[in-house]
Structure 1
Amino acid sequence: MTEMLLAVQQPFDFQECLVFLSRSEQEVLHVTTPDTVRKLMRIGERLILIELQEAEHHIRVRFPVDEVSDTEKERVAREVRDWLDLERDLKPFETMGAKNELLAPLIEAHRGLRMIGFPDLFEALTWAIIGQQITLSFAYTIKRRFVERYGDHQVVGGRTYWTFPRAERIALLEPEELRELQFSRRKAEYVIDIAREITNGDLSKTALQSLSSANIRERLLAIRGVGEWTADYVLMKCFQDASAFPIADVGLHQAIQHQLGTSKKPTIEEVKRYGESWQGWEGYATFYLWRSLYGNV
């Protein structure tokens, strides 16, 4: 079995990342065990199955099935680093958080957790739109249907591994086809419109990465179906902007209420005030607060 090692900025806790990746039994884009995660990646025109496992100060990347070229290894390494935010120096976040009443206990409990994201812009936007104004459980149900109908797959050892659908494929659909999966009419239109923008070259992560965070946000907000929450979520999870702040996020409000032990959720103004002490790390603060919602495993 071919493998390689990726160096990781410390602190890093692979087990904490596995807890996050294992949070839904309906997840269809990766498979976790107590010690590993497997994911099918699209590298160029190839589908390559990878398995990640902890190694001292590194992540071991294994290729259970495929022989891979050096160029493909480099692309896989880049994808894994982006997915798990491995190149981030978390020490400044920890220094800031240690003085913060909300964050200090979370950083102590989950030290080394990374802001796990979506390297692919189409996946990030689609997932954010699917999740608008519905429960997380129902969002996962819709995502599974979407992936299993339009994604690519590979069967290894009797298990099926999936990739997220390509924008080029979704661009060819009509809204009625996504309505069959229980997308709302509007969401179906939004996702297909985004797929067409990406396919036509009018929307590109590479092009957006040359802009400032403020300008990326402005461009995202110009997309039909993308409001402030979606733009901030995509900035945080696709562009790895540690300062992105989805301030209206329901889960964030629940987590703050839970951490403070209060009887009601905070107002937007109260969340803004908390965010003032997280400056530059609002995205990571949000991610750690989300972590508090699914237990102390």
Structure 2
Amino acid sequence: MQHELHAHSNLSITNQIQDHGQDMLISVPKEFSFTENYSHLSTATNESLYTLRDGMIYKAIAVDQEAAIVEISNYDEHHMLIRFVDEHQSISSAVRIGVAQYVYDWFDLGTDLAPFYKMAAQDPLLEQAVVSFYGLRNMGIPDLYEAICWGILGQQINLGFAYTLKRRLVEHFGQALTYEGETYWLFPTAETIASLTVDELSAAGMTTVKKCEYLIDTAKLIVDGTLSKEQLLQVTDVKQAEKLLVKIRGIGPWTAHYVLMRCLRMPSAFPIDDVGLHNSIKHVLKMDAKPTKAHILELSAGWTLWESYATFYLWRFLY
């Protein structure tokens, strides 16, 4: 049985950070480029959960019941800088560590990409991608409910409209933090969405009743403890994890693998039916038509335990 590697889930990062109170330095691996990751983030033209300005990333991050706005920037080739922007806000050590943990997970800093690059350099489909986007990480979605929502919202619509739906959801039901005239949003909690009716969610501009039902039902599973990130992290096999997720109404194989890839960080997560993946392969190989599933399986035969990263790098050609 093929087992997944959760090298960085629940990993203590105290030895990866230098905590100076208002500022924190977080170590980055050799195979990391802040510029490449910033460039990737900049492709989201209607993003509601972070702001890019002058080469810096601004984001509100919640830790338990507290939240802070941070500025994330490149410090040197070995570190990123996390700065808490509100100098008058008293932030506990636990919250600072929690923020650093979030950033560490968001940028997937715990994954050693050297084996991936070695494999990809010999792969006809990936060799160009790893040169073009060297240092790019699989920018994740650390919160399980947010990842599932993004998967559900993105079903059977184009990416631009998916961002519009997410913005509607965030601005109707998320928490807003303001600083110096700028607003920074936190994604709605499962508790908030679980308390809504389908009509209330529809009124916020969600397009279908079914999607509203899926968002509320999943929120209730998380609130009552039936579904949790910790529970899924105990599963070591991607097929088993997929089975657990597709039992949930509104989650099919594509959404399941998207969540396993972007939140649970399962290396073998592989949304093989993804239209973007098909278009990327068509683009790289200069094909007249999209590849068949059988052809994709053939092309990906050498990607074992790197299917997730291979997909992410191929997506980058398009987004």
TM-score (norm 2): 0.90
Q: Is structure 2 residue 160 aligned with structure 1 residue 140?
A: no
2:169 maps to 1:130: no
Q: Distance in 1 between matches of 2:54 and 2:111?
A: 24
Q: Which moved more, 1:268-277 or 1:188-197?
A: 268-277
- Structure 1 runs (4+) deviating above 3 angstroms are none
Whether the 8 Å contact between 1:7 and 1:59 is mirrored in structure 2 is: yes
Contact 2:232 2:264 in 1 (8 A): no
Q: Structure 2: which 5+ residue stretches go unaligned?
A: 1-20
Which residue in 1 is equivalent to 2:230? 206
Query: Where do residues 249-288 of structure 1 align in structure 2 (5 Å cutoff)?
Result: 249-288=274-313
Tell me, in whole angstroms, the C-alpha distance in 2 between the residues paired with 1:150 and 1:190.
16
1:85-96 equivalent positions in 2, closer than 5 A: 85-96=108-119
**Alignment partner, residue 217 of structure 2:** 193
Report what 2:63 is aligned to.
43
d(CA) in 2 for partners of 1:252, 1:34: 31
Shift of 1:221: 1.1
Q: Secondary structure at the match of 1:246?
A: coil
Whether the 8 Å contact between 2:206 and 2:212 is mirrored in structure 1 is: no
- Counterpart residue number, 1:64: 85
Superposition map of 1:16-35 within 5 A: 16-35=36-55
Q: TM-score, normalising length from structure 1?
A: 0.97
Hey, what's the Cα distance between the residues in 2 that align with 1:214 and 1:262?
30
Q: How many residues are aligned here?
A: 294
**Alpha carbons 1:16, 1:113 under 8 Å: kept:** yes
Q: CA deviation at 1:283?
A: 0.5
> Over residues 174-215 of structure 1, what are the superposed CA-to-partner deviations in whole Å (9 max), with x where a residue is unaligned?
112222213311111001000011111111111221122332
Query: What amino acid is aligned across from residue 192 of structure 1 in structure 2?
Result: I
Offset of residue 277 of structure 1: 1.5
- Which secondary structure state, in structure 2, belongs to the residue aligned with residue 293 of structure 1? coil
| 8 Å contact from structure 2 (residues 73, 81) kept in 1 | yes
Aligned-pair distance for 1:33? Answer: 2.1
SS of residue paired to 2:135: coil
Give yes or no for contact 2:62–2:99 (8 Å, CA) kept in 1. no
Aligned with residue 154 of structure 1, among 171, 177, 183: 177
CA deviation profile, 1:134-173 (whole Å, cap 9, x unmatched): 0111111111010000000111111100000000010011
- Pairing partner for 2:189 from 166, 170, 181: 166
CA contact (8 A) 1:151 1:166 kept: yes
| Whole-angstrom CA distance in 1 between matches of 2:149 and 2:206 | 14
Amino acid at match of 1:76: V
Residue pair 1:130, 1:183 contacting (<8 A) in 2 also: no
Q: Distance in 1 between matches of 2:71 and 2:308?
A: 27
Counterpart code for 2:72: L
CA displacement at 1:34 relative to structure 2: 4.1
CA RMSD of aligned residues (A): 1.1
Q: Distance in 2 between matches of 1:6 and 1:216?
A: 31
Find the residue that maps to 2:49 and give its secondary structure: coil
1:231 maps to 2:256: yes
Distance 1:19 1:226, change over 3 A: same
Distance in 1 separating the partners of 2:39 and 2:72: 14
How far apart are the structure 2 equivalents of 1:291 and 1:26? Answer: 17
Match of 1:79 in 2: 102
Percentage identity across aligned positions? Answer: 43
